[in-house]
Amino acid sequence: MRRLTLALTLLAVVSAGVCSGAPAVSAASGPAAGGLSRGTNVLVVGIDSRAGLSAAEKRRLHVGGKGCNCTDVMMLVHLSQDRRRASVVSIPRDSYVEYASPAPAPEAPGAPAEPRKGKINGAYALGGGPLTVRTVEKATGLRVDHYLETDFAGFEKTVDRLGGATVCTDRPLKDENSGLDIAAGVHRTDGNQTLRYVRARHVNLRPGDLGRVRRQQRTVNDLLARLTVEGALSNPTRTARTARTLLESVRTDARTSLYDLIGIGLALGRLRAENTEFATVPIRLFDHRVPGVGSTLVWDEPRSAALWQALRTDRPLTGDTRIQPVAQTPAPTDPARIPVAVDDATVADALRAGGFAVTDTPASAPAARPAGGPVIGYPAGREEDADTLAAALPGARVRALPTGATSFTVTVGTDPVEVRTVTYDRNIADGAPVTADVLRCPDIPPRILDASRP
């Protein structure tokens, strides 16, 4: 009976799972804030607050340090006008934007303040939810119809009340800052473990905000799917009961009533997986340094503008090549970070021209070569990099190197070798628009993680 609460609460509290230093983003100057748009836009934020947490609770939740009284994650949920499609867009917390002007006090209207720029998560510290909403509207040109806010203190309880979450990874993930330590596979996690999963930034694989945001999207996607399957959003009566519970744990703005929450819940419950999509605002600069602000993220102006325009005109994000250009040979990782020794000078030159860090090339070809195509040797734990190298060498065979190896090897075989130029785009690798059925964890029985693990 509390499933709608938990679904929408999750959208909010999953945002509250971070507090370490990450880069910020510069918004393109766009249409006037809060312009007319079709459909319904719900801004869901999680606040980094440790208020009321004891020292023991901070240790248990692995959330030491001071809260910043800022938003850690934002999700803009767009429901189409016909209620047959939903787009969930994550806005990185370190987006470098121009803040909206604070509302002047009625007794002292005065002249408007000079525009200020900073990380988008700082708008909350300057003016709470109202300034956060206006800043998002200014940066995106979209109207925000409803606003939901919570802090991460309720995240653990929310997930536990739901019966846990399902998380998945195709590589082991470990992050000492959040306490995350899980093996490859699909896992059923409790609230504490799920919090570590969605907070982790310093993972051994693809550190940073985009990978973390994608994990948050996966978690939300799984929980919404479970609520739908269980019938928790199936009729107005059940949805109304859970909406009332929602108001006990999530704060809303004055424009968001119980009836609004019921309508949102019913719409979410009727959506098909292929009509629900998740995306992250495309980034152009991942470490834009601003004096007095720090490391920020700068949006890719044309691609982010296309994303907001698609939402404004109520169109899908997936398949829009203005948001996600189609690469002829996409690569999951950056070839410049792949050291590789090649035993053929011509192939080595071609890979080097394609951006790979070729480290060694023999002066002469070996006397004998293996039959067939090239053979790629890769160090343990770097399977995704091996996939990138294999994309550049179609038909290559991939084999793990002995323990202790740190570089990749390419052994050319007897067949002619084709070397393709691969395209690496972090936005495509970690934040491209995808539908819920693509993002969902594999449909295999999850392993239950031991709750006693640290």
pLDDT tens digits in sequence order for the chain, 454 residues long:
444 444 555 455 444 443 333 344 444 444 444 556 689 999 999 888 777 778 888 888 777 777 788 888 899 999 999 999 999 999 999 999 999 987 655 555 565 566 699 999 999 999 999 999 999 999 999 999 999 987 777 777 777 776 788 888 877 888 888 888 888 888 989 888 888 888 887 776 555 678 888 888 998 888 888 777 766 666 777 677 666 666 666 788 888 887 888 788 888 878 888 999 999 999 999 999 999 999 999 999 999 999 999 999 999 999 999 998 888 899 989 999 999 999 999 999 999 999 999 998 876 777 788 899 999 999 988 998 999 999 999 999 999 999 889 999 999 999 999 999 999 988 887 889 999 998 888 776 666 654 434 3
Q: Please say whether the structural domain 3-325+429-448 has been given the CATH code 3.40.630.190.
A: yes
Q: Where are the domains of the chain?
A: 3-325+429-448, 330-424
pLDDT, tens digit, for every residue of 322-365? 998 888 899 989 999 999 999 999 999 999 999 999 998 876 77
Q: Rounded CA gap, 407 and 385, in Å?
A: 11
The enclosing H or E element of 248 equals helix 236-249
- Cβ neighbors of 8 (< 8 A, separation 6 or more) are 44, 148, 246, 250, 261, 264, 265
pLDDT, tens digit, for every residue of 142-180? 999 999 987 777 777 777 776 788 888 877 888 888 888
Q: Rounded CA gap, 345 and 188, in Å?
A: 49
pLDDT at 444 (0 to 100): 66
Taking only Cα atoms into account, the Rg of the chain, rounded to an integer number of angstroms, comes to 24
Task: Enter the DSSP assignment of 95.
Answer: B
pLDDT at 27 (0 to 100): 47
Closest C-alpha among 63, 45, 46 to residue 54: 63
Closest C-alpha among 317, 307, 264, 275 to residue 84: 275
pTM beyond 0.75: the answer is yes
Burial of residue 356, with CB atoms counted within 10 A of its CB: 0-12 exposed, 13-18 middle, 19 or more buried: buried
